[in-house]
Amino acid sequence: MNIHQISKPLALRWVLGVCFVLAAWVPRGGAAVSLEKLPEPGLQPQALTSPDGTVHLIYLKGDPKAADVVYRRKTAGQTSWGAPLRVNSQAGSAIAVGTIRGAQLAVGRQGAVHVAWNGSSSALPKPVNGGTPMLYARLQNGGSSFSEQRNLMTASHELDGGGAVAADSDGRVFVIWHASPAGISGETNRAVYLALSKDDGSTFAPERRISPEGSGACGCCGLTAKASTGGDVFVLFRTARSPLQRDMSLLVSSDHGAHFTEALSHPWSINACPMSSANLSDATPGVWAAWETAGQIHFAHFSNLERQTPTNSAGPKRAAKHPRIAANSRGETLVVWTEGTGWQRGGDLGWQVLDSKGQSTAEKGRLPGIPAWHFATVFTKLNGDFVILH
């Protein structure tokens, strides 16, 4: 592992997933973990809990090649989800095929809800340089509908792996994706781009490159982004420095997205696109990160307080992918992932609770029968308990 110096000191706590067995989960004094199904059949959910306890949820519904993005919410104290709202203004303009191109959710200033997603082959409007669009919409009209979907690609082209959205409490919205520069192709020439809004998503500046020269980007891998409560912006993506070198890289901005520095490079040599995704979640302080390397799930905590040496342990026996992570107010953390999934193939869910020091606890489990193109999401209740939604 290479950790590069950045403008604000960051800490890295790295806990590798331990070997998991099929077992019933019984709470032992920590946060309770419950499993819930989506309110209707759907794929690739993402859920976030606002400070007031409102849980925001998106998922994909319909044809995986031409899906719709559905939004629901549940306020604190409610036992059922609110009525569904379709996010995309053009029917069938999202995509679930490949598992890493689905919609992403962020909650910004005064609870504003922002959604970004990779467009399907029929999605409009098209980028000026052709290909599929990077689309965005925000909740409006008092929470009763979403704005008309917009394409944010103005110069980049060849959108492939999944994009991301993040938002902060000052009205900034960060929509991030990887693509090729105009007139150039090839994974080693790809770059990570940011379209930044400073007015809660009303307008966006043209996209600009934020990844270092020579990093490339793994074409069909997803990326993730988070604006932390401390004001930092984090972007986690898989590079393509060469056809064989596909490291996981963490970009960090300490000036609200004006400049980014590579803070982590976790190597992986593989002569193929692993079609991996990753996740970032709020922590106190900093963020938790989760990603896949060589069939193992890796967890890392970044903060501005200390730096720790990464430690490793054994991972799941089956190939693990698509981790999702969340922390509660007591510092406990839950990470959930898929095992044995692949192209047009379902598998199992596995999960593990970490204590407030980031160490694996005895609280873990597995759920079989996850369909193709699917993964789970995790969110916290106000009392600190965790919910795995699948």
DSSP output for 355-385: -TTS-EEEEEEEEEEEPTT---EEEE-TTS-
Q: Would you state the pLDDT for residue 17?
A: 35
The domain total for the chain is: 1
Residue 100 lies in a domain: yes
Q: Which long-range contacts (CB under 8 A, 24 or more apart) does 333-337 make?
A: 333/283, 333/288, 333/299, 333/358, 334/31, 334/33, 334/378, 334/386, 334/388, 335/17, 335/290, 335/297, 335/299, 335/378, 336/376, 336/377, 336/378, 336/388, 337/17, 337/290, 337/292, 337/297, 337/375
The reply to whether 351 falls in a domain is yes
**Residue 201 domain flag:** yes
Q: How far apart are CA 35 and CA 252, in angstroms?
A: 33
Looking at the domain assignment, is residue 327 inside a domain?
yes
Task: Answer whether residue 1 is part of any domain.
Answer: no
3 falls within a domain: no
Q: What pLDDT score does 317 carry?
A: 54
Q: 39 in a domain, yes or no? A: yes
- Chunked in runs of 10, what are the mean pLDDT values of the chain (390 residues)? 37 36 40 94 97 95 98 93 98 96 96 97 94 97 95 96 96 97 93 98 98 96 91 95 95 95 93 93 87 90 50 54 93 94 94 87 91 97 94
pLDDT at 29: 55
Residue 187 has φ and ψ, to the nearest 5°, of -60, -40
The pTM is what? Answer: 0.91
The answer to whether residues 146 and 89 touch, using CB atoms and an 8 Å cutoff, is yes
| Cα dihedral across residues 16, 21, 23, 28: positive or negative | negative
Q: What is the pLDDT of residue 324?
A: 96
Structural domain range at position 266: 13-389
Give which of 1, 2, 22 is closest to 368, Cα–Cα. Answer: 22
pLDDT at 28: 47
Residue 1 has a pLDDT of 41
Identify whether 107 is part of a domain.
yes
CATH number at residue 221: 2.120.10.70
pLDDT at 316: 55
Token pair for residue 76? 């604190």
